[in-house]
């Protein structure tokens, strides 16, 4: 039997899973406070301050994290890039509702191409990305673009959660709160269950998200980062205790149980030089 009943918010061992159906306050707090705070703290843990830096956010979505990072960390500029134009008036309205009179003048948004960032070479000191690289169709091409727009001493922070192979990797927690729908149901069943309940606009949006997930694993992300000429210098993995259904018993534990990652990468001169020699 499908476990399709409406869900709002789920806590999974240290990682708050917020679905699209959560109330606006919870959504705001999860992004403006928690996600933005985690970006700033992860970097600050290595003595990296964003203050005065030129920061790019790859796959910025609604821009709430960018607003949080800008107000908390005071970069010289922060540009949120996304293939879908960020709804700035909506962000302004959300900010006002949270008591923020206007968006900071250091904060900009720009619409990017699938593999192209509209920015000059070496125009950013730090790139950040939150919950985007599991949605990006060609991660290596986008990471190469990130390397192009970063200075040679630039830094790259990436967070991904949840990885596809893990309990809520389908991003369909509203319909499958117990998780692992990708192993328990085929695509037609998933579509039918999602269509059968809840707001239909949200169902369409989430099915589109589900169908376009790139299914990247932590190891594949590592390989993509290296292929684009970066090396990872710090990593934090999220791994919780999970009960694995029979249908997922064949999946490597490193894939089924590592639900998320935060990483810090820098351009790898050695890989970049090898690449230059080969061309
Ligand atoms: C789950 S949302 C995350 C948004 C935001 N970072 C957040 O956490 O609220 C993933 C975002 O990645 C964007 N995206 C997908 N492919 C992209 C690409 N090639 N370049 C830039 N953004 C992309 C999507 O449009 C979407 O807004």
Give the start-to-end residue ranges of the domains of the chain. Answer: 15-169+213-278
Q: Which of 205, 237, 238, 215 is nearest to 163 (CA)?
A: 215
Task: Please give the residue that has the higher pLDDT: either 39 or 197.
Answer: 39
Q: What CATH code is assigned to 15-169+213-278?
A: 3.40.50.150
CB atoms closer than 10 angstroms to residue 246: 8
Could you tell me the distance, in angstroms and rounded to a whole number, from the CA of residue 59 to the centre of ligand 1?
A: 3
pTM above 0.95, yes or no: no
pLDDT in tens, 228-268: 999 999 999 999 899 999 999 999 999 999 999 999 999 99
Average pLDDT of 220-224? 98
Q: What pLDDT does residue 60 have?
A: 98
Q: What pLDDT does residue 269 have?
A: 85
Average pLDDT of 218-224? 98
59: Cβ below 6 Å to ligand 1? yes
pLDDT in tens, 151-190: 999 999 999 999 999 999 999 998 999 999 999 999 999 9
Could you tell me the distance, in angstroms and rounded to a whole number, from the CA of residue 124 to the centre of ligand 1?
A: 19
- How far is residue 36 CA from its own chain's centroid? 12
Average pLDDT of 16-29? 76
144: Cβ below 6 Å to ligand 1? no
Q: What pLDDT does residue 3 have?
A: 32
Structure tokens at 75: 């970069």
Q: What pLDDT does residue 18 have?
A: 54
135: Cβ below 6 Å to ligand 1? yes
* CB contact at 8 A, 79 and 51: no
Terminal-to-terminal C-alpha distance of the chain: 55
Q: Indicate the top mutation candidate among 116, 132, 133, 173 to test ligand 1's pocket, ranked by most ligand atoms within 8 A of CB.
A: 132
Q: Cis peptide before 162, with omega less than 30 degrees from 0? A: yes
- Tell me what the pLDDT averaged over the chain comes to: 91
């Amino acid at each position: 039997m499908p476990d399709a009943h409406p869900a709002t918010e789920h806590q999974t061992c240290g990682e708050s899973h917020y679905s699209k159906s959560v109330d606006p306050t919870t959504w705001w707090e999860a992004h403006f406070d928690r996600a933005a705070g985690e970006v700033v703290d992860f970097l600050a843990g290595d003595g990296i301050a964003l203050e005065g830096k030129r920061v790019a956010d790859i796959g910025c979505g609604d821009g709430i994290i960018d607003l949080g990072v800008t107000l908390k960390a005071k970069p010289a500029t922060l540009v949120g890039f996304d293939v879908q134009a960020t709804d700035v008036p909506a962000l302004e309205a959300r900010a006002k509702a949270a008591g923020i009179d206007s968006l900071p003048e250091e904060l900009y948004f720009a619409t990017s191409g699938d593999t192209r960032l509209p920015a000059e070479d070496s125009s950013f000191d730090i790139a950040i990305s939150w919950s985007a690289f599991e949605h990006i169709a060609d991660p290596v091409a986008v990471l190469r673009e990130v390397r192009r727009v970063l200075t040679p001493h630039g830094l790259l922070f990436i967070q991904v959660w949840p990885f596809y192979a893990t309990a809520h990797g389908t991003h369909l927690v509203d319909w499958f709160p117990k998780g692992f729908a990708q192993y328990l149901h085929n695509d037609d069943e998933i579509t039918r269950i999602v269509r059968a309940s809840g707001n239909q606009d949200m169902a369409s949006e989430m099915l589109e998200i589900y169908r376009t997930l790139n299914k990247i694993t932590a190891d594949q992300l590592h390989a993509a980062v290296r292929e684009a000429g970066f090396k990872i210098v710090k990593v934090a993995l999220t791994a919780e205790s999970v009960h694995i259904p029979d249908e997922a018993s064949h999946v490597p534990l490193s894939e089924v149980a590592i639900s998320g990652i935060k990483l810090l990468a820098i351009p790898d001169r050695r890989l970049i030089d090898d690449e230059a020699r080969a061309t």
